[in-house]
Structure formats: structure tokens, C-alpha cells
Amino acid sequence: MKNPLRPLRFSIRRPWSLAAILLYVLTANTLINTRNVYERPQNLLRYDQGGYYSYLPAVWLYGGDFTCSFYDSLGYRSQEFLKDYQGKKFNKYHVGPAVLLAPFFALGHWEALRSGAPTTGFSPPYLQWALIGCYFYVALGLLCLRSLLLRYFDDVVVALSLLALALGTNLLYYSTHEALMSHAYSFFLFALLWYLAVRYWESGRLPWLLATGLVGGLIAATRLPNLVVGLVV
């Protein structure tokens, strides 16, 4: 029997669903820049967000200082995300979001050097690129979801579904105002996992299986309870 499903690929022939994703990107970028979220690091880098983000400056700028002594010296509060265990301090948050944001942290460092901004890891160039990275990953997740949905529904239905998800849920909030939380990155990784799993199921090729396993590892590194998603893959 012939497979009735459409091929699984990133098609540019169905413009409405692509326009929906573009609208999300424009909305997220506008919210970030009009509210100047990245210029208020004292709000952005507290509690959970500070814990997820702190791996980046710790590794790249402060010689692997995971006790985050640099955090306190810059006027922030590492005690909001560090825990004591047998007399040693450790970050209780997962490293996954920092792994995904590493390229954008590098871009922020480059911009800080170019513009003369403080190269502390906390000045506006670093945080602005981190926020851009967040909605970049959400957009990639929407593209993966679009590719899957277009197999079953027409372009307009998929466009409306993506708009409802991207602009009508708290995904927009967590990709702009609290973009250093794990939520947006988990969404991206879930969508990518489903896309890669389907590619493997249909082709049986080892590279797709390895990619699926890699993404599963990133899901665990982002938030361990999220591994429950494996039950539906």
C-alpha cells in the first residue's frame, strides 16, 4: 500500500506556515528590544535563570569557576542558585541551555570586544545575543513542528496552529522575558527529537538514530524529568 503521507522535509512551497514563524520571530524581537530586557541583568540573571546562564561565563571567562565567586563580585547573588553539599557549592541547575547558547555567548563576547562594553559576561551584548539565541531555537522548533504537521494538514491550518502555539501560549513569554529558563529550549529539543525520530523510523539509517540519541542526551542535560518525552517517541 502506498504511503499517503507527504514527504518529511522543510518545504518552502507552503508560505502561510512560514509566515507564521516569521511573525513569531518579529514579535519576539520587538518585545525584547522595546522592553530592553537585556539591559536589566539584575532581573534577568536571578534564581533559575542565573543558574542556567552562569555556566557560560564560568567556563569561557572565569577559568571554570563553578563556585561562581565572580557572580558575587559583580553584584549578583550566586546563593540564589547554588547549593551546599558536604561543604562544597554546586550549581543545582542543568547545563543544557548553556550548551545551546554557547555560540551566542561567543557572539556576545565578540560584540562586547568590538563595542568596548565590559567583557564580564553580563553586559548588554552578552544578554542580547542570549535572548536572540532563545527565540532562534524556538523558531527552529516551530520549523520542525511545521514539517511534521504539513504531512497531515494543509498550510493554513498549520499556520494557525503554529501561531496559536507561538503567540497564544506562555512560549512567547519564556522566549522573551524569561529567555534563560529551560522552557523554550525544551520545546525546541522536543520538536527536534520528534522530527529526527520520524526520519529514523522511515529511513532506518544510523545517522538519524545517532542524532536522535544526541538530542535525547541534550534533553536530559536541559531538565532531567523531560526524559519522559521518550515514552511517546
pLDDT digits (tens, 9 = 90+) for 44-60: 787 889 889 999 999 99
Q: Residue 57's pLDDT is what?
A: 93
Cα–Cα nearest to 101, from 68, 64, 126, 76: 126
Per-residue pLDDT band for 2 (boundaries 50, 70, 90) equals very low
Q: Across residues 24-52, what is the average pLDDT?
A: 84
Residue 9 — pLDDT band, cuts 50, 70, 90? low
Task: Flag the least confident range among 92-96, 184-188, 219-223.
Answer: 92-96
Span of 4-8, 94-98, 116-120, 167-171 with lowest mean pLDDT: 4-8
Give the CA distances from residue 123 to residues 64, 74, 119, 126, 227, in Å, rounded to whole numbers and listed in that order. 19, 11, 7, 6, 34
Number of other CB atoms surrounding residue 80 within 10 Å: 14
- Phi, psi for 84 (deg, rounded to 5): -95, 135
Check residues 93 and 161 and name the one with the higher pLDDT: 161
CA atoms of 20 and 165, how far apart (whole Å): 10
Q: What is the pLDDT, as a whole number, of residue 65?
A: 80
Give the percent of the chain with pLDDT over 90: 64
Question: How confident is the model at residue 73, as a pLDDT?
Answer: 77
Q: Indicate the residue type of 182.
A: S
Q: Is the pLDDT of residue 135 over 90?
A: yes
Single-letter residue type at 229: V
| Higher-pLDDT residue of 25, 84 | 25
Residue-level pLDDT at 3:
43
3-state SS, the chain, equals: CCCCCCCCCCCCCCHHHHHHHHHHHHHHHHHHHHCCHHHCHHHHCCHHHHHHHCHHHHHHCCCCCCCCHHHHHCCCCHHHCEEEECCEEEECCCCHHHHHHHHHHHHHHHHHHHHCCCCCCCCHHHHHHHHHHHHHHHHHHHHHHHHHHCCCCCHHHHHHHHHHHHHHCCHHHHCCCCCCCCHHHHHHHHHHHHHHHHHHHHHCCHHHHHHHHHHHHHHHHHCHHHHHHHHHC
Distance CA 119, CA 115 (A): 10
The half-sphere exposure of 197 on its side-chain side, counting CA atoms within 13 A, is: 16
For residue 169, what is the enclosing H or E element?
none
Q: What pLDDT, on the 0 to 100 scale, is given for residue 1?
A: 34
pLDDT of 85 strictly over 90: no
Lowest-confidence pick of 20-29, 32-41, 92-101: 32-41
pLDDT band per the 50, 70, 90 thresholds, residue 66 = confident
Compute the mean pLDDT over every residue in the chain, rounded to the nearest whole number. 89
Residue 56: what residue type? L
**pLDDT > 90? residue 82:** no
